[in-house]
Structure 1
């Protein structure tokens, strides 16, 4: 079993408390690593290091910072297999997907923001005046466990490329893969204090960073409930800038002009991806009532071919849930769906987790949008099918949610585009549009504040200054 340290001011140091958090492999429930249980003293050291590093780092030219960020891509590429294996051990992402799903995006982030930093307009003329973009300062990055390395780099690379310094608190469930960033920082000679890593519990380290008066911004990804708390703490302490990427209950709409089989496959793959532990998962399938029997028969046949099991097996499509807490949460929602009157046409109520947190894919039919399972984020491989009679009704159902993170539409391209424009969500896939780094990602309504990825993701880590010339 590996024991890790904190990474502060360019050095690996012991945690102040001497206490550790065990990291469990969800596929077999074995403890494979321990990380320090950070406290106030650790947070203060890390924030002080970032604060001290900020003047020199922000004073470097954009080209110099871009060179450093680009080198991260090379390092992660060289260590991709090791990083992938770590992520599989942390959260159970199958080896079939872990590199493409989890690691490639981090490499792409580094290269994208290295290029953007070189070509960004940091100062623009506005009439006789000047509008400048400047780095904010010390950024606290609070990241989740479901896409550990990608969620970290989607914040860190644009933030440091823009001239900021970072304190990262990775999830206590998946903290080990974050150390590829400190290892890379050492190899490429990143100045001390630009990136600092403090592991620990969200209610401890996350709270301390959110309240810390020497932290200028908090970038948080996680549940809407926790995001609200982080935002309130950041505002109440010193009116920090806040960026929140929160939950979702995304709808996938099959129009009558669609190839319903293609639409069903696209929706199921997005829903069950990463064992359903994706904030933008398409968990509500909205379909014309007249295709009910054909659609469900097709979906049942497809799901039977999805192997659930050991993520280290090359043909496994769905691995375990990431934690015991998540397992019990999904169990409760499946039971609740049955109690609400939805019909479970595939899957089962999971009870046994002695040998790992495995859950078979669940599809509910006869779902109405007022059911709890249609309104709340389950974060597991659970989908509900809701049928409509008119497309106006379909749109009303799709938008009837406190969330607005993502959505999808399948059908004739012109019709689907017109429908997509009416969906209240930050990202809408049309006929299976693919994820790319260069377009923004974030949500409407209670799915968050701000955007990640693309130029918008760089802008988030900038202050805007107007210089008025008389």
Structure 2
């Protein structure tokens, strides 16, 4: 670290990785060179795996599941491995955060916070492994006893995105492992390093070979092959709704594998006139600025009560203009780089389209030049109407659209005016309003007078076209199980044939 500037240094040369199958590292034959989006310098070399590599990984996961080297352990034994993994993550926290920042472009301080949350996920998973249970039915009469068993579903394919490569991975892996399943993971090809580092951590924690495997490659090849693979029992995919729809089609055409889908969002933040406006402005700025708005639960639509709309937009613009955008390796940075060139172009195109459709830029709206990398100023649009693209489409960047409302009914109607239903928030000091809005806005996660708060005890997931199923907490472990009903006859059988 450069102590004078509170800035970490780039690596002297790219770090080359292998991929991980059946407890062993394998070398790549072809590689992706990943350039840091904050600097433009190549930082990692990631193997471009083949379908044969995927076949090997699935076979290893299948063997590990069928011989019960993991699922046959007690919940307490599985918990021990997960707790040792949590300790391994704690020891390597700064290293993992560093490579996450280099590949993704998020601020180093944010990356460290995400590793802390990931550690908590493993600790939660350990507890869940001990608590997972079925049920019994003592109500079937004296001659019949019923049990409901939860069994691991089998081999799980796990496809994770580039916006939260390690956090989303760790909101799934410990819960999948707690259930007794085995895993074949495929990270985004642009942010693969930390998923591969987790393989080292899990192996050192004592996870048996074949239980966690990592193949790297593009979604069009390896990802598509995973969705179609007949020996993968369940697929967990986090990404766009369009790709999620293709996962549904592929599952139907292969083995009807179970799907867990966390997809897009166009999430409302509702601010009433009776809210603490300074706190609300700070929370809304955080809601759109966190992870440069490249977050499926970002608050990208602001509904503000008309009587305070102009005043609130001014307060919010002042907050957003003071967000510290810059080098992700600088400890002081709050908003870093846009992760991919394609996403950078998409965001700037939406900003131009919003202006062309008549919305007004209150603050931001421009790319920022720091001598390397790709950056966009946090942007607030006012005068947005429901038919505009910036009001309906998931932009996946630091672009917020503000729309006024007059009544609570109108606010709820605007909030629900989307194909998505991933998250929402409301800002008010009136308990009646807060509960009414919470109960009627259709979203899988909801925050009252806060934004993106919570822990791994709580389930994650969406309504409508934001996905299927739930991750994290006990719900997240149960998601990776299937239920078996068992009926036990007691006493002498009443003959069917006399």
TM-score, normalising length: structure 2: 0.91
1:254-269 alignment runs, 5 A limit? 254-269=271-286
Paired residues of 2:273 and 2:308 also in contact (CA < 8 A): no
For residues 106-129 of structure 1, the C-alpha deviation after alignment (integer angstroms, 9 at most, x for no partner) is 101110010111122145346331
Distance 2:395 2:44 in 1: 28
Structure 2: how far apart are the matches of 1:98 and 1:194?
Answer: 26
Deviations 1:320-371 (A, max 9, x none): 1101011001011101111111001111333869711100011000001221
The answer to whether structure 1 residue 426 and structure 2 residue 444 are counterparts is yes
The structure 2 residue matched to 1:29, chosen from 37, 40, 46, is 40
- Secondary structure of the 2:163 match is coil
Structure-to-structure mapping, 1:348-359, within 5 angstroms: 348-350=365-367, 355-359=372-376
Deviating more after overlay: 78-87 vs 350-359: 350-359
2:495 corresponds to:
none
Task: Tell me how many residue pairs correspond in the alignment.
Answer: 467
Q: How does 1:63-462 map to 2 (within 5 A)?
A: 63-100=76-113, 102-125=114-137, 127=139, 128-350=145-367, 355-411=372-428, 412-432=430-450, 434-462=453-481
1:311 Cα offset (Å): 1.2
Question: Partners in 2 of 1:301 and 1:363 — Cα distance?
Answer: 10
Distance of 1:352 and 1:85 partners within structure 2: 23
Cα separation, 1, equivalents of 2:206 and 2:320 = 48
Q: What is the deviation of 1:284?
A: 0.6
Deviations 1:83-123, CA, capped at 9 Å, x for gaps: 111111011111232211x2111101110010111122145
Output the CA distance in 1 between the equivalents of 2:274 and 2:215. Answer: 51
Cα distance, 1:305–1:349 mapped onto 2, change above 3 Å: closer
- The structural deviation recorded for 1:2 is 1.6
Task: Indicate if the aligned counterparts of 1:76 and 1:180 stay in contact, CA closer than 8 A.
Answer: no
Find the structure with the greater CA-based Rg. Answer: 2
Contact map agreement 1:255 1:416 (CA 8 A) in 2: no
- Counterpart contact for 1:331–1:351, Cα < 8 Å: no
Pair 1:51-2:62 in alignment: yes
| Distance of 1:72 and 1:253 partners within structure 2 | 40
Larger helix proportion of the pair: 1
Structure 2 spans left out of the alignment, 5+ residues: 1-13, 140-144, 490-498
Q: 5+ unaligned residues in a row in structure 1: which ranges?
A: none
Distance 2:155 2:15 in 1: 30
1:383-431 deviations in Å (ceiling 9; x for gaps): 0000011211111000000000000011123321221111000011011
Distance 1:22 1:270, change over 3 A: same
The 10-residue stretch of structure 1 (256-265 or 127-136) with the greater mean CA deviation from structure 2: 256-265
SS in 1 for 2:376: coil
CA deviation vs aligned residue, 1:153-181 (integer Å, no higher than 9, x gap): 22211111111000000111110011221
Contact (CA 8 Å) 1:346, 1:361: kept in 2 or not? yes
- State the 1:235 CA deviation: 2.3
Deviations 1:196-252 (A, max 9, x none): 000000111101111111110000000101111112112210010100000100001
Q: Distance in 2 between matches of 1:241 and 1:30?
A: 40
SS at match of 2:454: coil
**In 2: Cα distance, 1:5 partner to 1:353 partner:** 33
Paired with 2:138 and 2:75, the residues of 1 have a C-alpha distance of: 22
Q: Which moved more, 1:278-287 or 1:21-30?
A: 21-30
Structure-1 separation of matches of 2:377 and 2:223: 33
Within 1, Cα distance between the matches of 2:61 and 2:370?
42
Equivalent pair of 1:27/1:310 in contact (CA under 8 Å): yes
Distance 1:188 1:292 in 2: 53
Aligned-residue Cα RMSD (Å) equals 1.4
Bigger drift between 298-307 and 209-218 goes to 298-307
SS at match of 1:168: strand
User: How far apart, CA to CA, are the structure 1 residues paired with 2:138 and 2:462?
Assistant: 30
Flag the 1:139–1:312 CA change in 2: closer, same or farther, 3 A: same
Partner of 1:33, secondary structure, is strand
Once residues 47 and 122 of structure 1 are traced to their aligned partners in structure 2, the CA distance between those partners, rounded to angstroms, is: 28
